[in-house]
Amino acid sequence: MSEGAVKKEERRKFQAIKGTRDLLPQETALWNRAEQTAHEVFATFGFGEIRVPIFEPTELFARAVGGETDIVSKEMYTFEDRDETSVSLRPEATASVCRAYIEHGMQQLPQPVKLYYMGPMFRRERPQKGRYRQFYQIGAEVLGGTDAPAIDAEVIEVVMTFFEKLELQGVQLSVNSIGCRECRPKYVELLRAELLKVKDSLGPDSQRRIDTNPLRVLDSKLESEQAIIAKLPRIGDHLCKECADHYAAVKRELDLRGVKYRENWRLVRGLDYYMRTTFEITAQGLGSQDAVCGGGRYDGLVELLGGPPTKGLGFAIGEDRLILSLQESGKAPVAQGRDVYIAWMGESARATAIRAAKTLRNAGFGVELPPVEQKFGKALGQADKLGAKYALILGDNEVTSGEWTLKTLVDGTQRKVTEQQLIADLKKL
Ligand code: AMP
């Protein structure tokens, strides 16, 4: 390599890959609060945390998410492992949780098994506000047992309770039933027939979907298609008796829980094993990417992955969007400054300062102990910049007399404290 090339190499600045980002301490405070609240709320509903791997065999996602979906066909980060097996970064976690349910024989446990997870997911989507290539989900799955409507309602109640605790603003829950293996195929055929009649007025995407997946036409946001879609047959009018009863019961159970919802007949999922209840939650301040949570029932999935016939229901919350919405509505906590800055000068004060820092930290105070001696003026300036509440001043005088100086930085008042009283005095303040 020429000298010039070396220099250029050395100067290369690295940046986070497009669609990924660093979360800095000011932000992680809010992330941690959201995650802590999730742990607490989910535990009160009897959910236990599961941690599944970040990568899995590609085949698992191809089967569970669907080989023809955009997620699997275009958006997965897939690579060959050394033994030439194909592995992928997880685009979602439901497949992994179902795999784990089967792998650990969880059908032997009391049913249903209630699990929740949180962590990063990876999809190679076009990045924009609220849409990233590494993003985070907090989700839960209820596996096994019955498909009692109360379970659907309780799963929705968990999310709504979580959002309420966080004071998320503008929360809107939409629900729908997409029927089952009995009634949906008939509805899809009817929909296809109706769509064929208006094919020429539809855009190219929807025209294609008449063949591949007519339900997806209902997702269309194209202005020119809205009036046409409004006249299409609605799945609610074509549910079989079991599905209609189930849906009515889910709504009753939501009412009993005081959960407010809207019905949206256009809320659908394209995959075969999704059935009956589907729901979506939006929140304010998110622009076009305003869905913070999507969920639904997927009774066929565990079986599709080689397990026994198993009822299943779950949701995934987009944590990035949740945080964005909280920030936009001013619900973000202010970043915490240090409690105490220890301004010390002189060799004898050094040992005392280290001891004081230890005592304060053990009592739970956030302490900044400067590594090298500073003039008091400079130390106090530094304490201010760090947003410290107090400065503990330790110089030769303080160490000799045993009377330490505690300065309140907002108003500049000072008081004398002894080592024994320090913690008690600070707590009183
Ligand atoms: P899904 O797994 O596609 O049903 O998505 C569930 C939730 O995850 C969505 O409602 C979003 O809040 C969130 N989400 C999905 N994809 C992304 C992404 N690329 N970036 C940020 N959040 C996402």
Ligand 1: which of 313, 321, 323 to mutate, most ligand atoms within 8 Å of CB? 321
Say if ligand 1 is within 6 A of residue 135 CB. yes
* Residue 50 identity (one-letter amino acid): I
| Distance (Å) from CA 112 to ligand 1 centroid | 26
Quote the pLDDT of residue 273. Answer: 80
Prediction pTM value: 0.91
Quote the pLDDT of residue 70. Answer: 81
Say if ligand 1 is within 6 A of residue 93 CB. no
What stretches in the chain show pLDDT beneath 70?
1-9, 270, 332-336
| Distance (Å) from CA 135 to ligand 1 centroid | 8
Quote the pLDDT of residue 269. Answer: 79
Say if ligand 1 is within 6 A of residue 70 CB. no
Q: What digits encode the pLDDT tens for the residues 180-234?
A: 999 999 999 999 999 999 999 999 989 998 988 899 899 888 899 999 999 999 9
Ligand 1: which of 18, 90, 135 to mutate, most ligand atoms within 8 Å of CB? 135
Strand 86-89 with 340-344, pairing: unpaired
Say if ligand 1 is within 6 A of residue 269 CB. no
Take residue 246 and report the two structure tokens written for it. 């189930």
Look-up of token digits 């009515």: 248
Alpha carbon nearest to ligand 1 atom 15, residue: 318
In sequence order, what are the residues at sequence separation of 6 or more whose Cβ sits closer than 8 angstroms to the Cβ of residue 397? Answer: none
Look-up of token digits 């004398």: 416
- The CA-atom distances, in angstroms, between 315 and each of 23, 92, 137, 168, 370 are 24, 11, 10, 17, 47
- DSSP bridge pairs for 263: 175
Q: CA triplet 262, 327, 117: central angle to 5 degrees?
A: 70
Quote the pLDDT of residue 5. Answer: 58
Pairs from 47-51 (Cβ < 8 Å, separation ≥ 24) = 47/114, 47/115, 47/116, 47/140, 47/158, 48/114, 48/115, 48/116, 49/115, 49/116, 49/117, 49/118, 50/97, 50/100, 50/115, 50/116, 50/117, 51/117, 51/119
Treating both helix axes as pointing N-terminal to C-terminal, what angle do 241-256 and 149-165 enclose, rounded to 10 degrees? 40
